[in-house]
Amino acid sequence: MTRSIAFASLKGGVGKTTVALNCAFAFARRGARTLLVDTDLQGAIGMSLDGVSDRPGLAANLARGGPPLEGLVKTRLPELCLLPMGPVDALDEDRFAINAREANIVGRILEHSQRDFDLVLFDTPAGLGGMSRIALEEVDSVIAVAQCEPLALRAMPRLLELLARLRDIGSACSLLGVVGTMSSFRDPVLLASLEELWSLYRDQVFDTAVPRDSTFLQASRAGVPLGLLSRRPPAVSAVFDKLVAEIEERLGSDAGGEDDGPIRLVD
């Protein structure tokens, strides 16, 4: 069964796109056939990756009314594909989410992913309306992205409330977990925010938090996931290997694709 996860937060600039992109890369490296879909009209994934921003994607598929996965971008990893947003006509922005809902574009992306993908990850824009709301209604799991700073933490209850309300009205989406981002043990305010995140959301918080690290800016400057920043990836890229292992555990055993079990070290 193909699993779907949306990365969401009410507040912008908290690291959603960074987490979605690097988790997609880490999932693919673990062997899960992964599709990363950009639902942000600003084309956040395209902006973050060299060679992707001008390609057509979800927006063009919506405008044409054709197959929802046209323009799929293959990557260096055979298990990882991207569906960027692609250029959005300025005049279409206003009604974009309305058209997307009418055309059921997110639902159709999921239907068409069943054969070729184990996981479909959605990067969403800031805010809980528009494309975020549509993605949240269609996926089976949501990962709340919480920057470890006071204002971002104050915005979290709104997302959780929306998820509860969506479930009330029949949506399947459940909160898979909360991931803290841009944390630091060295800055007392950031450390206090990380502690607050733990004390407020306890078991829902992933053990792995994404530290604040200037390497992220280098990676976005180069337009690559952290794991491709150099032949010997920076230490912080290993955070996403840990995070996706935790996510897989929460998803259950069928998330990684094929059957799994111990592998003999010596034959």
Ligand X SMILES: Nc1ncnc2c1ncn2[C@@H]1O[C@H](COP(=O)(O)OP(=O)(O)O)[C@@H](O)[C@H]1O
Using CB under 5 A as the binding rule, whether residue 17 contacts Mg ion is answered as yes
Using CB under 6 A as the binding rule, whether residue 43 contacts ligand X is answered as no
Using CB under 5 A as the binding rule, whether residue 178 contacts Mg ion is answered as no
What is the phi/psi pair of residue 38, to 5°?
A: -95, 120
Who's near 178: CB < 8 A, 6+ residues apart?
143, 144, 145, 146, 156, 197, 201, 204, 205, 206
Using CB under 5 A as the binding rule, whether residue 141 contacts Mg ion is answered as no
Using CB under 6 A as the binding rule, whether residue 216 contacts ligand X is answered as yes
Residue 75 interaction partner, one of Mg ion, ligand X, none, beta carbon < 5-8 Å per kind: none
Who's near 166: CB < 8 A, 6+ residues apart?
136, 137, 173
CA distances to 36, 139, 184 from 188, in Å: 35, 36, 8
Using CB under 6 A as the binding rule, whether residue 44 contacts ligand X is answered as yes
8 A C-beta contact, residue 209 and residue 139: no
Residue whose C-beta lies closest to Mg ion: 17
Residue 15 interaction partner, one of ligand X, Mg ion, none, beta carbon < 5-8 Å per kind: ligand X
**Among the residue ranges 6-14, 90-98, 108-116, 255-263, the one whose residues contact ligand X (CB under 6 A):** 6-14
Count how many Cα atoms sit within 13 Å of the Cα of residue 142 in the half-sphere of its side chain: 29
Closest to ligand X by CB, 176 or 182: 182
8 A C-beta contact, residue 175 and residue 160: yes
Could you tell me the smallest distance in angstroms from the CB atom of residue 75 to ligand X? Answer: 18
CA distances to 9, 158, 228, 251 from 76, in Å: 29, 38, 10, 26
Using CB under 6 A as the binding rule, whether residue 210 contacts ligand X is answered as yes
Closest to Mg ion by CB, 2 or 17: 17
CA angle 76, 229, 118 (to 5 degrees): 40
Report which secondary-structure segment, H or E, holds 220.
helix 215-222
Site string for ligand X, 151-190 (x = CB under 6 A): ------------------------------xx--------
Could you tell me the smallest distance in angstroms from the CB atom of residue 185 to ligand X? Answer: 13
- How many residues touch ligand X under the rule CB under 6 A: the total is 17
Using CB under 6 A as the binding rule, whether residue 39 contacts ligand X is answered as no
Query: In which residue are the tokens 């193909």 written?
Result: 2
Residues lying near ligand X in the complex (CB under 6 A) are found at 12-18, 44, 126, 181-182, 210, 212-213, 216-217, 220
Residues lying near Mg ion in the complex (CB under 5 A) are found at 16-17, 44
